[in-house]
Copies of this chain bind each other. A is one copy, B any other.
Amino acid sequence: MRLAPQAELRPGRRVSGVVPAPTPADDPASRLFATRKLSLELIRPLSAEDMTVQAMPDASPTKWHLAHVTWFFETFVLKPHLPGYRLFDETFNYCFNSYYESQGERHPRPARGLLTRPSAGRVLDYRAHVDEELERLVRCGLEPDGEPARLVEIGINHEQQHQELLLTDILALFAANPLRPAYRPRSRTADIGTAGSRSSDEVAWIDHPGGVFEVGHDGRGFAWDNEAPRHEVLVQPFRNADRLVTNGEWLAFMADGGYRTASLWLADGWATVSREGWQSPLYWENRDGDWHMMTLEGLMPVEPEAPVCHVSYFEADAFARWAGQRLPTEFEWEIAAFGLAVTGNTLGTHALRSRPAARSVPDAPRQMFGDVWEWTQSAYLPYPGYRPPEGAIGEYNGKFMVSQQVLRGACCVTPDGHSRATYRNFFYPHQRWQFAGVRLAAEAV
């Protein structure tokens, strides 16, 4: 973990939005094209075949991600706001609409992997076409507060989300391949975890007195609709762990029969464990007595000091119960993150083997961003007064507000500049293919 340079904590300082990273540059056009370019960098290790196949219904093919984010710019930015824009291909609206009911019929989600046509090459042509037209739009000038600028900003953030999903889904695909291919070469391990951490790194508990706090986005910088309205919450005193749960701790949970002890589990969780035969996190496999895990760098031994990853909410909750603790609520997490610099990460440069760095500031929690998404005890629900935006864009976040749990933070494949303390990620409690892990919390003592 590393702190962004500007993170000299000042008393009372609150950073609730995006901490400006050194790059990409701040102006929207630069960020737009840097983001568009990053997507193309991400696919460099992939063949057209890799980009076409859908690992499972929850996942999408790389090619689909690439085309869908492009369709988003075409549909919501270019078509309504660039005079004379001509659709690249009339059929793409059907192929690459995700779930916008307002945009008409679409290809069924579980069948996205059947689209061997349009080819990867044609999708790259589509991207080039849309990029050119976006440049034309930008050259015309984007009013900073105008609708096109707002939609470009949404488009950037939307593409960033799919960049993360693209890597998440590629891992799912490669993990299902008996060859266990690596997305990228194994990084050198020599420089990992040297920043002052010890092998016997005990959890430190950070106390919070509770009180009434403002949570949610304050309107400075970009945020999704579901982070608003900013509002007050009353939080009881609590404490939270200064670091994530590690693989070593998870191995202890497993060794103690964690996956076989009904009393540790939510009823739905126990039913899932029993039905699916879970015995470890997703992507773990025992080879000749040693636990390995599938990663973007291929199959690797499980490192005891790395944060555990690819666990469901059910598992996170059971682990916490086993440990005599609980998961934090999303507001406890957000409060604990007040004033913390958002540590970035560059996609593809680390692979979840970070050891908790030493704290540069006493009592600051570590690993809040850039390692794993952290399951919270909070269900994904609207904030008081929440209204989805008008129009098609409004289908974005609100319609998923049931049966899912909030995750906070950011993970090792979250693009730089896409993390913030108010960010609300959400998944179903049984899902494990995301880079999701666990931080413990507890009542104040």
Contacts and interface: CB of A to CB of B under 8 A. Distances in A.
A313 interface: yes
A5 to B, nearest CB: 23
Contact of A400 (B117, B236, B267): B267
A379 B377 contact: no
Contact of A382 (B48, B263, B377): B377
Contact of A313 (B176, B381, B402): B402
A337 interface: no
Interface in A381-401: 381-382, 384-385, 395, 399-401
A399 B176 CA distance: 28
A173 interface: yes
Nearest to A95: B178
Contacts of A402: 266, 268-269, 313-314, 317, 405, 429
Contacts of A381: 377-379
A73 B326 CA distance: 32
B234 A47 contact: no
Contact of A116 (B101, B173, B236, B268): B173
Contacts of A233: 234
A53 interface: yes
Contact of A113 (B113, B268, B326, B400): B113
Interface in A372-425: 377-379, 381-382, 384-385, 395, 399-403, 405
Interface in A159-206: 173, 176-179, 181
Nearest to A392: B263
A255 interface: no
A120 interface: yes
A166 to B, nearest CB: 14
A394 B345 CA distance: 43
Contacts of A80: none
A179 B91 contact: yes
A99 interface: yes
Interface in A211-245: 212, 231-234, 236, 238
A50 interface: yes
A102 B115 CA distance: 35
Contacts of A120: 49
B382 A49 contact: no
A173 B247 CA distance: 42
B107 A401 contact: no
Given A95-B178, A178-B91, A381-B377, A49 B234 contact: no
B50 A47 contact: no
A55 B114 contact: yes
A177 B115 contact: yes
A118 interface: yes
Nearest to A118: B179
A387 to B, nearest CB: 9
Given A52-B49, A381-B377, A399 B178 contact: no
A55 B382 CA distance: 35
Interface string A241-285: 000000000000000000000110111111000000000000000
Interface in A69-125: 91, 94-95, 99, 101-102, 107, 111, 113-120
Given A52-B52, A102-B263, 14 more contacts: A47-B48, A47-B119, A49-B49, A52-B53, A53-B116, A101-B262, A113-B113, A114-B176, A115-B178, A116-B173, A116-B177, A231-B236, A377-B382, A384-B443
The 3 residue pairs across chains A and B that have the minimum distance between CB atoms: A379-B379, A234-B234, A101-B262
Interface of A: 47-53, 55, 91, 94-95, 99, 101-102, 107, 111, 113-120, 173, 176-179, 181, 212, 231-234, 236, 238, 262-263, 265-270, 313-314, 317, 326, 377-379, 381-382, 384-385, 395, 399-403, 405, 429, 443
